[in-house]
Amino acid sequence: MENFLQDYMTMLKVERNLARNSLESYERDLQQYHQYLKTELKLKTIRNVTLGHIRSFVRKLSNRGLAANSIKRAVSSIRTYHNFLSAEGHMKDNPAQLLDTPKIPRKLPNVLTIQEIDKILGIIPENAPMAQRDLAIFEMMYSCGLRVTELCDFKTSDILWDSEMIRVQGKGSKQRFVPIGPIARENLKNYLNHERNTLADKNPNVAEVFLSRNGRKLTRMMIWVLLKKWTESAEIKKEVSPHTLRHSFATHLLEGGADLRSVQEMLGHTDITTTQIYTHLDKEHLKEVHRTYHPRFN
C-alpha cells in the first residue's frame, strides 16, 4: 500500500504542483487512512477496500471528535487518492465514488475593527528591539491581505517600488500582484534601511525579507507568536491569528465600497465563491450599524 501512496504523493507534487502545506496535509490524512486499513480492518491490499470500509474510517474520525473541516479534508484526500488508484489501474472499481462529503455549516471568519487594528499596530514601541520589523510585518499583512506563508516567503526581489506593488507567490506557486499602501511602504523601507541589514549580516544568503534575530527566514509559528504578543499588549480580547488580518483586509475593503472581483484578485482566490463569504460579513456589519444607530433599537 505504501508504494501506491508514494506514487500518489509524487504525482501531486510534480503534476499538480501543490503547495508544501497542502502536500503535508494530504500525506498525513492518507497515512492515517492506511494505518486504519492495515491495523484495524486487517486489509493486506488497497484493492480490497470497499465503500463500507471508507465510511467506517470517517465514522472513526467523527467519534474521535475531529473538527468537521478536518473530516471534510480527510474525505477529499481519500476521494482523490482513490480516483488516482482507479485511473492508474491499481483498483478495478472506485469505492470512494459514492462517498458523501460532510456538510459544513458556513462560519463567518473573525475580523478586527479598524480601531482594533490601529490599537495593535500603535502599541508596538518605536525603540523596542525588532520593532520596525514587527510593524512592517503586520502593516503588510493587513495592507496587502497576505497569507502567513506568503509573508514568510516574501523576498526583496518581490518589492516593486516604482509601481507601488508587491509580487506575491500564492498557493500552488500562483503569482499575483497586490498594491502596497503608503503606510506599509514607509514601514517596510524603515525596516529594510535600519534593521534588516544587521540581521542579514548573520546569514547573508537568505533572500527573504523578514528575518529572525539570527538572520534566518521567519517561520509561520514565529509570526503567530509575535502577533499574539502585540495583541495581548493592546488588550484585544478577540482570538486573533495572522489570518485574522487577511480577513480584516478583505472585510474593510468591501465595507469601503470595493468590488468583489478586485478583492478576489488581491486575495488570490481562484473561485469567487471563496471571496463571497466577505459579502456575508459586510451584511453583518450593516446589521450591526443598524442595531447601534437606529432609534427603534434604543
Q: So which residues are the catalytic ones?
A: 147, 171, 243, 246, 269, 278
Amino acid, single-letter form, for residue 101: T
Phi and psi (nearest 5°) for 71? -65, -40
Q: How many CB atoms lie within 10 A of CB 202?
A: 13
> How would you label 87-110 residue by residue, b for 16+ Cβ within 10 Å and e otherwise?
eeebbeebbbeebeeeeeeeeebe
Cell of 22: 497542502
Distance CA 199, CA 10 (A): 37
Instruction: State whether residue 208 is helix, strand or coil.
Output: strand
End-to-end CA distance of the chain: 65
Amino acid, single-letter form, for residue 37: L
Cell of 59: 465514522
Cell of 180: 502596497
DSSP class of residue 97? T
Question: Which distant-in-sequence residues (6+ apart) come within 8 Å of 83 by Cβ?
Answer: 94, 96
DSSP of 150-198: HHHT-BGGGEETTTTEEEEE-GGG-EEEEE--HHHHHHHHHHIIIIIHH
Cell of 56: 467506517
